Amino acid sequence: MTVPTFQELFLPILTYAGDQQEHSKNDVADHICELLNLSSEDIAEMLPSGRQTTLLNRIAWTTTYFRKALLLESVGRGRFRITERGLQLLATNPQTLNVRTLKQFPEFQAFHQSGSSQDSDEILTDSVMSLADETPEERLESSYQSLRKVLAEQLLQRVMEASPNFFEQLVVDVIVAMGYGGSRADAGKAIGQSGDEGIDGVVKEDRLGLDLIYLQAKRWSNPVGRPHVQNFVGSLVGKSAHKGVMLTTSRFTDEAKQFVKHLPQKVVLIDGEELANLMIEFNVGVALTTTYTVKKMDSDYFDE
């Protein structure tokens, strides 16, 4: 079973709190894992940022929404207890709970409307309801990933439209931005020969040149198959090289990917999607527009 959406957690969490005891988010997490028989993979699932598990994030936002609706109350650092209002809601024997349920409480309405310009939970389209099932962090990260995907597609399209010489420079910039190639001058000299609309060359793995990496890049639209990768590996053997990176603006076939897994040489395949993502990650061909800083409360500050 996958991790429930945070609205799907509403009823089991409020029911669990119905024992009127003090609980923490970790207590709730243990209960949910046992109740729903979540697998270790489900429990370990992370948000795209990698900073928090999906389960704990959804539990945290569920309890936050409940506190705003005055269904739960804080009783100490990271601990909460059900309120009389919460008990009264449970006494109605609800079959389901969601954001719309919480909107019957004016305190929650004030909180929810302050963070939204429109009452999207009242719009019964599949797309909007799916957004309502996400926590604020998940919505933020979903939007970020969507913007990043569009940007990657735009970058790759421009790379395909660029000249072979520009492609050479691009690969040099990416390699150096990642910390390889020694200096930019060294990398530029090593990669400066074009052929077959791609580049071939050897760059330093580090600034001291303790090891070398052989590169081949193809600005192609068609998939790169195993024969082309085999030819590249043959070039490595001919140069007594042990490490290689093959880049393409298209993609590698499954046979090509399987081929490099069991080689004595270390060969890394970078397809067009990954190349575009590396450009974004290492700020090659992109510019910063807006930065949003998301902060959280520092509980240690309030310790007395």
**Beta-strand (E) ranges in 14-66?**
23-24
Give just the sign of the alpha carbon dihedral 175, 177, 183, 189.
Answer: positive
For residue 156, which of 259, 242, 275, 51 has the smallest C-alpha distance?
275
For residue 65, which of 32, 89, 95 has the smallest C-alpha distance?
89
Query: Could you tell me the maximum CA-CA distance found in the chain, to the nearest angstrom?
Result: 78
Parallel, antiparallel or unpaired: strands 212-218 and 243-248: parallel
Task: Going residue by residue through the chain, which has 304 residues, state the pLDDT in tens, using 9 for 90 and above.
Answer: 689 998 999 999 999 999 999 999 999 999 999 999 999 999 999 887 777 899 998 998 899 899 999 999 989 778 999 999 999 999 999 999 999 999 999 999 888 776 553 444 433 333 333 456 788 888 888 888 878 888 998 899 889 988 888 888 888 889 888 988 776 677 766 665 544 444 677 888 877 778 888 889 888 989 999 999 999 999 888 888 899 999 999 999 999 999 999 999 999 999 999 999 999 999 999 998 878 787 877 766 776 5
* pTM of the full structure: 0.65
For residue 138, which of 295, 288, 280, 5 has the smallest C-alpha distance?
5
Domains identified in the chain and CATH numbers? 10-134 (no CATH), 163-281 (3.40.1340.10)
Cα distance between residue 62 and residue 116, in whole Å: 17
Count Cα atoms within 13 angstroms, Cβ side, for 276: 19
Cα distance between residue 196 and residue 194, in whole Å: 7
